[in-house]
Amino acid sequence: MRFGNPEYFMLLLALPVVILLFFILYRRKIAALARFASAPLIRKLNSSAGPSRYILKATFFCLFLLFAVFALVRPMFGVKIEMVERKGVDIMIALDISHSMLAQDIVPNRLERAKFEIRRFINMLKGDRVGLIIFAGESFVQCPLTLDYGAAMTMLQAVNVDWLQIQGTAIADAIHKAIKAFGDGGGGKKHRALIILSDGEDHEGNVVEAARAAAREGIVIYTVGIGSESGVPIPINASGANVTYKRDKAGNLVMTRLDPVMLERIAIETNGKYFHAGTNLDLTRIYNEISQLEKTEFGMTKATVHEEQYQIFLFAAIIFLLIEFFISERARRKEVWKGRFE
């Protein structure tokens, strides 16, 4: 099962609060009645409004909240194959997974925040193919260009810094990998965008030449600078309460700093744009830029579509709310005349 908006699961934290609120209100109601009469008299006068009906109403309201949250997270289960018309842009995302991306100047760290924002970005795409390249001292295509956004996000989620043994930041190699990944393309050498997310600390050189090669292939590069320019240490062991940081041979802390100059030069060479994310990463601006590119038609293609099933949960939530609304706190009792002296 997949979820379109998993962040809304956080709303489930409100459920215990609602249950506690129902309990407090009921106790206050009982305490208020106790100030006016004794408990036996209250039970006799208020026999049609016992705690069972109050509990029943509270239960149905909590079920309404539970199913409403499940509707909001947009559960998707079951797949179908559809023929869809391809009209859009081919987008490759190159993600830096060098150890410097473990720096915690962005919560929880640069890499995890970048993965979160990439997932948000993919959720915004409509008809565009997307692919993923990961790089450090070397690079490889983690996900080729695809319309299956769910598969792309699954491959993205599994990425971590231990996937590449050669450390460093070989941005040029990542650009060359992207050029090959685009191939000839059904739309010619147009409608291609490469997004590079990195702290910009390139250690291999030849980046400008690689950017020029991409420009010759009609690829527009958007670069995103992640991290602080002031420099922060690189964690190498963040398990538990003890955090250790990377040091050089002299025992000094190794600091990682955002290098915006290199990333800006890459973007300029391809008529793209550099986005200074710093510690406030958000790919919405890049999506707005790419959505303005002229789109091209690539014909019909098969696409695996995960069917949204939020309607089931929304319908159940409405039913539970209506049941709660029509349940009275007092039971309907038919009074029968038993005589004057009864």
Query: What total of structural domains would you count in the chain?
Result: 2
CATH of the domain at 242: 3.40.50.410
Classify 318 as helix, strand or coil.
helix
Q: Residue 171 is encoded by which pair of tokens? A: 């941005």
Domain shared by 228 and 186, yes or no: yes
Q: Tell me the three state secondary structure of residue 236.
A: strand
Q: How far apart are CA 330 and CA 45, in angstroms?
A: 12
CA distance 266 to 212: 8
- Shared-domain flag, residues 122 and 55: no
* Whether residue 55 sits in one domain with residue 95: no
| CB 139 within 8 Å of CB 165 | no
Q: Count the Cβ atoms, other than its own, within 10 Å of residue 78.
A: 10
Residue 222 resides in a domain:
yes
Q: Are residues 106 and 229 in the same domain?
A: yes
Q: Are residues 118 and 265 in the same domain?
A: yes
Instruction: Looking at the structure, tell me whether residues 114 and 54 fall in a common domain.
Output: no
Domain enclosing residue 127, as ranges: 90-294
Asked if residue 82 is part of any domain, the answer here is no
* Position 190 confidence tier, pLDDT thresholds 50, 70, 90: low
**What confidence tier does 186 reach under pLDDT thresholds 50, 70, 90?**
very low
Whether 147 is covered by a domain: the verdict is yes
C-alpha 320, offset from chain centre: 29
DSSP string, 73-141: T-EEEEEEEEEEEEEE-EEEEEEE-SGGGG-TTSSS-HHHHHHHHHHHHHHH-SS-EEEEEEESSSEEE
Are residues 184 and 208 both part of a single domain? yes
Report the alpha-carbon distance of residue 193 to residue 317 in Å, rounded. 42
List pLDDT tens digits, range 135-152: 988 888 999 999 889 899
Q: Does the residue 341 lie in any domain?
A: no
DSSP state of 23: H
Whether residue 60 is found in the same domain as residue 106:
no
Per-residue burial over 134-168, b = 16 or more CB atoms within 10 Å of its CB, e = otherwise: bbbebbebbbebbbbbbebbebbeebebeebeeeb
What's the predicted TM-score (pTM) here?
Answer: 0.62
281 and 321 assigned to the same domain:
no
For residues 215 and 244, state if they share a domain.
yes
Whether residues 119 and 267 share a domain: the answer is: yes
Lowest mean pLDDT among 159-168, 171-180, 186-195, 252-261: 186-195
63/175 same-domain check: no
Query: Would 48 be classed as within a structural domain?
Result: yes
12 belongs to a structural domain: yes
Structural domain includes residue 300: no
Average pLDDT over residues 181-198: 77
- Summarised one tens digit per residue, pLDDT across range 239-292 is 555 777 888 788 888 888 888 888 999 999 999 999 887 667 778 888 888 877
Block residue for tokens 């909001």: 72
Look at residue 7 and tell me if it is in a domain: yes
